[in-house]
Amino acid sequence: MEPVPVVLGVGGGIAAYKAAELARALMERGCTVETVMTAAAQEFVQPLTFAALTGRKVITSMFGARTADEVLASSVEHIAVAQRNRVLVVAPATANLLAGFAHGLAGDFLSTLYLAFQGRVVLCPAMNTAMWEHPATQENLATLRRRGDLIVDPEAGELACGTVGVGRLADPQRIAAFVMRALDDRRDLEGETVLVTAGPTREPLDPVRFISNRSSGKMGYAVAEAAAARGARVILISGPVTLPAPDGVTLVHVQTAREMYDAVMSHLDEATIIVKTAAVADYHLADVPPQKVKKTAMRLSLELDPTPDILAEIGRHKHDQLLVGFAAETENVTAEARRKLKSKNCDMIVGNLVSHSDGVGFESDNNEVVLVTRTGETIPLPLASKLVIAGQILDHILKLRLALHASQS
Ligand code: CTP
């Protein structure tokens, strides 16, 4: 998808600092972000934060201009900003902003922009519970919803005022995913069931210790989110990670390779596309001692048994499903990816280098991969966020399926 131009309106609430994380989350999903801050927002966060994150000038007032030329230019700037962006996201949308939008007030840049804006509007309210529940706020929200604005409801939790209740700004990752779903009019995965595995597995050594690996789950969660945005039913089987569950995805938690194997096999028949991003442990301790192992002065050896190779097992049994594996390598990525493509009977392997210390691979938000396909293609995908890479992988999966069908008929 082309970069989506988004204008982010930041209101004056304590959650304004989370709008910085939202700007980043939108950029990770391939959006360009232009920021407008209300005067109140600037009491909470410096415009410089957004300028540094987005690499763009931040609009802080309607009449910041000094010279006659600047005044002339700025007098129509809200129209230009409205015209060049596809989405207006307001976070935090305070009670005052919602009231202003609902009643068509145009007293500052953000409210003027709102009136001039013809693209999608996504409002993310955040306020104290009593203010949220007040009939005035609820009536304003009903008006805004009726006009077609999209509302990302606040979450329940501890609020800045010390109370607990509904009113906390929704998680920025969730808001960004919501924006992408609202925008993505490609429903090219509708009717598909995509089975994704993600994260590491954990193989216990005793009740308090385990063997695992550095996989963060970000790549698999990105594939799950991107597939759901394009209309797929998504089953995400995840090892232990710290990521929030993507909305609209069926999440199955597992710990060990054996549990992942069982979960995958029980959902396999439903899947039309299988993407195995998980970094499955290759070995485990077959007989885990029931009590914590005590330290001695002696050397300790562990005898480990192989875990089931889930991908290879699917490869042996698959019918017309499209099977995509990952190959995390520290060298010879393309050659290893090609070897695994054949040995595990996959349709595509996504090879990625994981020894980098320069911001790609495990734990990073970015990735740089090479796709090798059953049809003999080798497709490098240059450095980008995992969410952008996830979208590109899905594009190539769909292309590959067309090519495979064409070659069969
Ligand atoms: N995989 C799997 N089950 C395993 C091990 C790996 O399903 N027990 C899958 C992974 O999910 C990934 C692919 O196989 O999609 C390749 O994983 P990788 O660890 O790179 O390959 P291995 O087969 O384990 O080979 P090696 O460790 O020798 O590189």
Give percent of the chain with pLDDT exceeding 90: 85
Please state the rounded mean pLDDT for residues 274-291. Answer: 97
Of 12-16, 60-64, 141-145, 392-396, the one with minimum mean pLDDT is 60-64
CA distance 346 to 355: 24
Rounded alpha-carbon distances, angstroms, from residue 310 to 99, 183, 235, 252:
54, 35, 16, 16
Of 2-11, 13-22, 159-168, 322-331, the one with minimum mean pLDDT is 159-168
CA distance 179 to 8: 11
Asked whether residue 356 carries a pLDDT value surpassing 80, the answer given is: no
Q: Whose CA is nearest to atom 12 of ligand 1?
A: 326
- 359 confidence band (pLDDT: 50, 70, 90): low
pLDDT tens for 92-138 read 999 999 999 999 999 999 999 999 999 999 999 999 999 999 999 99
Q: Where are the alpha helices (DSSP H) in 230-379?
A: 257-267, 310-317, 333-343
Determine contact, residues 226/387, Cβ cutoff 8 Å: yes
Is 161 part of the annotated catalytic residue set? yes
Asked whether residue 325 carries a pLDDT value surpassing 80, the answer given is: yes
pLDDT tens for 64-89 read 656 777 766 666 888 999 999 999 99
- 267 confidence band (pLDDT: 50, 70, 90): very high
Q: Whose CA is nearest to atom 21 of ligand 1?
A: 327
Residue 215, ligand 1, Cβ within 6 A: no
- 358 confidence band (pLDDT: 50, 70, 90): low
Residue 168, ligand 1, Cβ within 6 A: no
- 63 confidence band (pLDDT: 50, 70, 90): confident
CA of residue 340 relative to chain centroid, distance: 27
Widest CA span of the chain, in angstroms?
Answer: 83
pLDDT tens for 216-252 read 999 999 999 999 999 999 999 999 999 999 999 999 9
CA distance 233 to 183: 18
Residue 310, ligand 1, Cβ within 6 A: yes
208 burial type by CB count under 10 A (0-12 exposed, 13-18 middle, 19+ buried): exposed
Please state the rounded mean pLDDT for residues 37-52. Answer: 97
Instruction: Round the average pLDDT of the chain to a whole number and report it.
Output: 94
Residue 117, ligand 1, Cβ within 6 A: no
Q: 């009643």: which residue's tokens?
A: 103
What local confidence, expressed as pLDDT, does residue 65 receive? 55
Ranges assigned E (strand) in 133-192: 150-151, 155-158, 164-168
Gap from CA of 253 to ligand 1 centroid (Å): 19
DSSP 35: E
Atom of ligand 1 nearest to the CA of 281: 8
Q: Whose CA is nearest to atom 16 of ligand 1?
A: 327
Please state the rounded mean pLDDT for residues 259-285. Answer: 97
Please state the rounded mean pLDDT for residues 318-340. Answer: 95
69 burial type by CB count under 10 A (0-12 exposed, 13-18 middle, 19+ buried): exposed
pLDDT tens for 293-319 read 999 999 999 999 999 999 999 999 898
What local confidence, expressed as pLDDT, does residue 2 receive? 81
Strand order in the sheet with 378-385: 250-253, 233-238, 193-198, 273-276, 322-329, 348-353, 366-373, 378-385
Determine contact, residues 140/147, Cβ cutoff 8 Å: no
What is the number of residues in the chain? 409
CA distance 296 to 318: 48
Please state the rounded mean pLDDT for residues 353-376. Answer: 83
